[in-house]
Chain A
Amino acid sequence: MSLLPDLFTFWHEQAGKLGHQTLQHVALTAAALGLGVAVGVPVGLWLTRRPRWQGAVLGAAGVLQTVPSIALLGFLIPFMGIGARPAIVALLLYSLLPIIRNTVAGIQGVPPAVVEAARGLGFTNGQLFRQVELPLALPVIMAGIRTATVINVGVATLAAYVAAGGLGEFIFEGISLNNPVMILAGALPSAALALAFDAGLGALAALSARRLRAVGLGLLVVLPLLAAGYWGPQLLGARRGQPALQAAFSPEFVGRADCLPGLSRIYGLGKLPHGVLAPALVYEALRDGRVDVIDGYSTDGRIRAYGLRVLRDDRHALPPYYCAPVLRPEVLRAHPELGPVLDQLSGQLSDSAMTNLNYQVDNLHRDPKAVALGWLRRRGLLKAPRPLPPGAPEVRLGSKIFAEQYILVEMYAALIRGNTDLGVATKTGLGGTTICFEALRGGQIDMYPEYTGTGLQVLLQPSAAVLDSLGGRPEAVFSYVQAEFGRRYGLAWRAPLGFNNAYCLLMREQQATELGITSISNLGKYLQK
């Protein structure tokens, strides 16, 4: 297996990025941990003096702990936007429970006889706390901080979803590109960081209760220093002048050779500073003015809803993504009447038509089925479902987990029900490309809508020479994908539906107009200035 050499090669090639991400990861963790200690320990101490509040406060911290981290980040974004702030706040909230709980347990674990004797000898409350309770509780408190650290290092990988950076960038790029080397390239350093932090704090705790001051200093000085690793470079950057435009891209877009790296080469976007952000969040980040350039899909309904502009790919750098049904040929052989029915949609949906349908589902929150049937009706394609003969065979339609796919599947379902004697089962929301593809190959579904570019880049993954020869021409890509799917997997592509749901660069309409940017070439030129 070549995983290990590949991994080292990857680290070697991406050493700069790895270092930067590690630094960010450490900084995020340290900042959250520093705040967690600054908040959690005093709260815990206060609870030992006000035991009546323990149930409520520990309960609340416990509830926070059970909120899935992705959900917590999503919940924070409306209040805090994207970037380091929501990430640090989320990490802080996760670190509170172990720190508070262990602080309470540590102080309450001090033997009552020791406290009584100390009081009886004439310790003031402050002296009792500083010289007796805190030193004796310290090992337990430190254990809580260590737990919080290990949690934080792990959860900090999710910071990549809100453009806060960290080792999650590699991990999410790797997941979206189906690239295990890339996943490991982020996951292994993250695990190593967790162990290193734990060992460091362990060493600090081993200084023992007698060195309370050393432990306190260690936490209160070292953590902010580590955290400064995040903002230090940013501050330096700020001194050099704010960048004109800020971009945020989804992990897949950053990682794929034909996306950001290709664009940077062809259009000279190297100077565009960018963060990595969850695909679901980029549109809102652009709308709210937190960033100025994002990647998106050219048929996404939010382009219309948020007043965004698609920058024209005037040099055809981005690969074509024409949508077409992919199916198992056995189904066509068994039910030859199916072919013409599916082809009723061929070439019928333009980019703007699809954008409009997506807009109705994504932004007007209409039912995908109603939207699909409405469009068929207007086109005169809708027929009443035929009564099913007993024991009629069933066609199983799959879809990935976004609106466009739901709509297309509902269209196909209606067409099959209206024009054939076949039953239809829909299995929508099958996650990403890999899941749909494997379900089709494994015979769990008979058909799903796929995009030529995805088939080419994610599934076939041809050599650079082949990619060059195809040159991003839609027809050439379709023919190649159709032939290769038949040869390699025994799967068939039908004719495309007409629209190209490709990656694109998006800006706010208003800003793009002000800056006079309509194409990616314009953007490149603007950045060169």
Chain B
Amino acid sequence: MIPPSPVIRVSHLTKRFGAQVVVDDLSFEVAAGETLVLLGPSGCGKTTLLKTLNRLIEPNGGTIEINGRDVRQQKPEELRRGIGYVIQQVGLLPHLTVAQNVGVVPGLLGRPPAETAARTTELLNRLHLPAERFGPMLPAELSGGQQQRVGLARALAADPPVILLDEPFGALDPITRTAVRRDFRELDELRRKTVVLVTHDVTEAFELADRIMLLDKGKIQQLGPPRELLLHPASDFVRSFFQAEQLALQLRVVTLAEVQPFLPQGQPAASADTPTLPPTASVHEALGQLDAGAASAFRLADQPQVITRGQLLAAFGQALG
């Protein structure tokens, strides 16, 4: 299979603020449709790196190509109109209505107003902000979570192939954050997009990322799928970074297929109403299913016997053992 061609190609990117090197000779690629999460402690350079992609910050060295074109060959504003951008503080234009805010970029691109209006209505509805009610409101009338949904809708309105998000859920309270993150994850639009997301929240990174780039002091510490960073850390820094939430993260990356060899054999057969999970589901998802549902056991697809919570946890321990 031919790997999809990279949408973003960064090579030897360097950014200094005075004597301090914030982004240190970074090279990486992001494939079409991939979600790359930039993760790391405060001051690691992740936000600076993100902002060089849409030229809000100009690097001191290196090149960035997006869709095969060097970003420096384009006018910054034209480049930015083709890239969705969401920030932690949202930054909705306070004097415009919600609908006008969502329609800002299509407006800048000179798209027909009717088309923009239809797109705005569609996006707002899909983000659980019925356009009829919320469209005419001013940003100040919305809650923080609602504002960030509008921020997402605004970034998607012109259907850009690339979306940059800078701690998009960072300012929300935990309950709202979970809800907005779920809507974000379930948005079909985003599956087709190339997404670069900055966060310092490890759980968030594991939940959303196809690949994680762990940064420290402007350098890539490790770049790869979440389970690789967790199970095969490249350095002590990577290991210690995930130490505190080791177990919770392992539950997320270990799949049912991996624990299956350690499950006891010869269990009673499942009844018709026993929930079924695919082997690709994570242990975390299976536990969630058991906690939420009425059922006390589940079964794997294509397998006859039931698995209980205790059996699952025991097998999980052995699999890691």
Contacts and interface: CB of A to CB of B under 8 A. Distances in A.
Interface of A: 111, 113-124, 127, 131-132, 135-136, 208-210
Contacts of B123: none
B108 interface: yes
- Central interface residue in A113, A117, A122, A135, by most chain B CB within 10 Å: A122
B298 interface: no
Nearest to A110: B94
A120 B90 CA distance: 11
B210 to A, nearest CB: 23
Contact of A116 (B79, B87, B151): B87
B222 interface: no
Interface of B: 54, 56, 77-82, 85, 87, 89-95, 104-105, 108, 151, 154-155, 164
Given A111-B89, A114-B91, A122-B108, 15 more contacts: A111-B91, A113-B87, A113-B91, A116-B56, A117-B89, A117-B90, A117-B93, A118-B93, A120-B87, A121-B81, A121-B104, A121-B155, A122-B77, A123-B77, A208-B95
A135 B78 contact: no
B49 to A, nearest CB: 15
Contact of A121 (B85, B89, B94): B85
Contacts of A117: 85, 87, 89-93, 151
Nearest to A125: B77
Contacts of A131: 93
Nearest to B97: A210
- Closest 8 CB pairs between A and B? A117-B91, A113-B89, A122-B81, A120-B85, A122-B80, A113-B91, A122-B77, A209-B95
B87 A121 contact: no
Contact of A113 (B56, B80, B90, B164): B90
Query: Dominant SS at the A interface?
Result: helix
Nearest to A209: B95
Contact of B78 (A113, A114, A122): A122
Contact of A124 (B77, B92, B155): B77
B108 A127 contact: yes
Contacts of A115: 91
Nearest to B91: A117
A208 B105 CA distance: 23
Contacts of A127: 77, 108
- Central interface residue in A117, A132, A208, A209, by most chain B CB within 10 Å: A117
Given A113-B87, A116-B87, A127-B108, A121 B92 contact: no
6 contacts: A114-B93, A116-B56, A118-B91, A122-B108, A124-B77, A136-B95
A116 B95 CA distance: 16
B90 A122 contact: no
A121 B56 contact: no
B191 to A, nearest CB: 22
A122 B77 CA distance: 4
A135 B89 CA distance: 20
B94 A114 contact: yes
Contacts of B94: 111, 114, 136
A113 B94 CA distance: 11
B91 A210 contact: no
Given A121-B108, A121-B154, A123-B108, A116 B91 contact: yes
Contacts of B164: 120
A135 B78 CA distance: 23
A120 B56 contact: yes
Nearest to A124: B77
B167 to A, nearest CB: 12
Contacts of A136: 94-95
A121 B105 contact: yes
A132 B77 contact: no
- Central interface residue in B91, B105, B151, by most chain A CB within 10 Å: B91
- Central interface residue in A121, A131, A135, A209, by most chain B CB within 10 Å: A121
Nearest to A115: B91
Contacts of B105: 121-122
- Central interface residue in B78, B85, B151, by most chain A CB within 10 Å: B85
Contacts of A208: 95
A210 B89 contact: no
A135 B100 CA distance: 15
A370 B64 CA distance: 88
Contacts of B90: 113, 117
B165 to A, nearest CB: 11
Nearest to B82: A122
Nearest to A127: B108
Contacts of B82: 122
A370 B285 CA distance: 108
A209 to B, nearest CB: 5
Contacts of B89: 111, 113, 117
A450 B216 CA distance: 91
Contacts of A118: 91, 93
Contact of B92 (A114, A119, A123, A209): A114
B149 to A, nearest CB: 15
A285 B56 CA distance: 61
A119 B78 contact: no
Given A117-B87, A121-B104, A121-B105, A132 B93 contact: yes
